[in-house]
Amino acid sequence: MRLMTLAAGALLAAGITPALAQSDAPRTTSTPPAVSTSGAESKTTAAPVPGKNSFTETEARKRLESFGYTDVSPLHLDAQSIWRGTARKGGQEFQVGLDFQGNIVTR
């Protein structure tokens, strides 16, 4: 009986040891977020970045509006999956584009 208790204790201790060895250090990743979180409208010089766009038209419109654009026209996806349309900002009208990363570009 005593041998079983010791064996059970040894197994329990062995099971706890690996858990204690795990690091609580935060994990870092080099993968950028799917959506630009920077304050800048476009965080990359290559914007708009072509690629499968998961934004709906409503989400694209809300993103443009969150950056101060108003009077956003109906948006359409072009051949590179960039949402395109027109919008006003600072009293001027722009052609706008929103890529899958959330980058906003104007012309």
pLDDT digits (tens, 9 = 90+) for 35-83: 555 554 555 568 899 999 999 999 999 999 999 999 999 999 999 999 9
**Which pLDDT score, from 0 to 100, does residue 94 have?**
97
Given a cut of 60, whether residue 4 has pLDDT beyond it is no
Given a cut of 70, whether residue 15 has pLDDT beyond it is no
- What average pLDDT is seen over the chain? 78
Tell me which residue range forms the domain holding 50.
Answer: 2-106
> What is the phi/psi pair of residue 85, to 5°?
180, -160
Beta-bridged to residue 92, according to DSSP, are: 89
For residue 46, CA distances in Å to 14, 29, 43, 59, 104 come to: 53, 22, 9, 22, 11
Q: Which of 74, 58, 61 is nearest to 104 (CA)?
A: 61
Q: Which of 51, 93, 55, 90 is nearest to 72 (CA)?
A: 93
Q: Give how many domains the chain has, as a whole number.
A: 1
What is d(CA 27, CA 11) in angstroms, rounded to the nearest whole number? Answer: 30
What is d(CA 59, CA 70) in angstroms, rounded to the nearest whole number? Answer: 14
